[in-house]
Amino acid sequence: MTATPTRTTAAVWRPGDPVGDRKFAVIGDLALERGGVLPAVTVAYETWGTLSPSGDNAVLVEHALTGDSHVVGETGPGHVSPGWWPGLIGPGAPLDTDRLFVVASNVLGGCQGTTGPASADPDGRAWGGRFPFITIRDQVAAEAALADVLGIRRWRGVLGGSMGGMRALEWATGHPDRVERCLVVASTPYATADQVAWCQPQLLAIRTDPAYRGGDYYGTGEGPTTGMGIARRIAHTTYRHEAELDERFGRRPRKGEDPLGGGGRYDVESYLDHHAAKLSRRFDPNSYVVLTEAMNSHDVGRGRGGVAAALNRFDGLLHVAGVTTDRLYPMRLSQEMAAARPGTGLSVVTSRHGHDGFLVETEQVGALIHEVLGSR
């Protein structure tokens, strides 16, 4: 499933590592939107609850850029990080496993068990820089193949935030007959110029790191963690709101350091350093590149007559929600989706945390899930 990566990407899951709560489905060759075929694709996924005999209680949860299939649960063998949406899946939770069968897969191009750049190609070498360009539509095509393997013809609901929201929306517009309800949080119907612009310096930071080696750094004993750390600092700044950062950190220097004396840091710089180091321990730089480019490709209206025409292909329940302080996927994009398709629900998640509000405000998101899945 995955070739042996360098230990600078220790958090890349590879065969022989503890599987944790993961399961694996071999979906075979996958035809790609831009042409060509990605051979022998494997999808890693986790499930909660039991699929009903009629298969009508399945819900798909879509993770964001650096997330994975471990939506809820603790750290432990096979799982470097705890679940990223704690409290939302389980008996009596918004995604109530007494009633629902919940599925979350690691996205195509990722690094936690699904085929990605660290995976072995047909010759047994890591794909590295030769991993093909993939789109959000390709990722959803892999998820559709997984659904087929699991015997799920139609999802009761598909939901996600950020990049996960892109895939949820692509499910509704690209496979409208296979989705009953769709919840899109803190996301967009297409990648805007602003979003692509913020991604460019992140991609350049990784690719210009001398350790990147054109993406073929596996087995070299080092990886482009410096470049990915810079990319993460840029991205993380867009994930939070400027007022929150100013309130939390102000101009406070790091304890024991003097920014005015040369070499010292402000608290906000230390905060970004922390998140950069944290990501380098659990994510593959190649996957960061591949998934960022996939996000840049996102446009549900491409080849479908535009966004409104694409959204109106879906006759199920569509509900979108924006975060008040989101400067990466601002509220106007959720409002645009709602206005483009009659009957689309629109909600506001109130948060001081910016884009990351969709991860932080679990009580509000849980209420949305209850509303959209009709569990109240």
Task: State phi, psi for 350 to the nearest 5 degrees.
Answer: -85, 125
Residue ranges and CATH numbers for the domains of the chain are 7-191+298-373 (3.40.50.1820)
Please tell me what DSSP assigns to residue 9.
Answer: G
Q: Given this model, what pLDDT does residue 11 score?
A: 61
Q: Would you state the structure tokens that stand for residue 212, as one six-digit string? A: 């990147």
pLDDT band (50, 70, 90) for residue 332? very high
| 228 vs 300: CA distance, rounded Å | 28
Instruction: Give the confidence band of 157 by pLDDT, cuts at 50, 70, 90.
Output: very high
Residue 7 scores a pLDDT above 80:
no
Q: So what's the pLDDT on residue 2?
A: 33
Q: Which residues of 109-144 are buried (b: 16+ CB within 10 A; e: fewer)?
A: bbbbbbbbbbbbbeeeebbbeebbebbbbbbbbbbe
- Residue-wise pLDDT tens digits, 252-308: 999 988 899 778 999 999 999 999 999 999 999 999 999 999 999 999 999 999 999
Q: What ranges make up the beta strands (E) of the chain?
A: 23-31, 37-48, 58-62, 89-90, 95-96, 101-105, 157-161, 181-185, 317-323, 345-349
Helix (H) or strand (E) holding 54: none
- In sequence order, what are the beta bridge partners of 294? none
Query: Using an 8 Å Cβ cutoff, are 238 and 327 in contact?
Result: yes
Reported as a single tens digit per residue, the pLDDT across 207-261 is: 999 999 999 999 888 899 999 999 999 999 999 999 999 999 999 999 988 899 7
Residue 5 clears pLDDT 90, i.e. is over it:
no
Q: Say yes or no to pLDDT of 95 above 90.
A: yes
Q: What average pLDDT does range 196-204 have in this prediction?
A: 98
pLDDT category at 37 given cuts 50, 70, 90 is very high
The reported pLDDT for the residue numbered 369 is 97
302: three-class secondary structure by DSSP: coil
pLDDT per residue as tens digits for the range 171-188: 999 999 999 999 999 999
Which residues are identified as catalytic?
A: 162, 326, 355
pTM: 0.95
Task: State the Cα torsion 226-229-235-240 to the nearest 10°.
Answer: -150
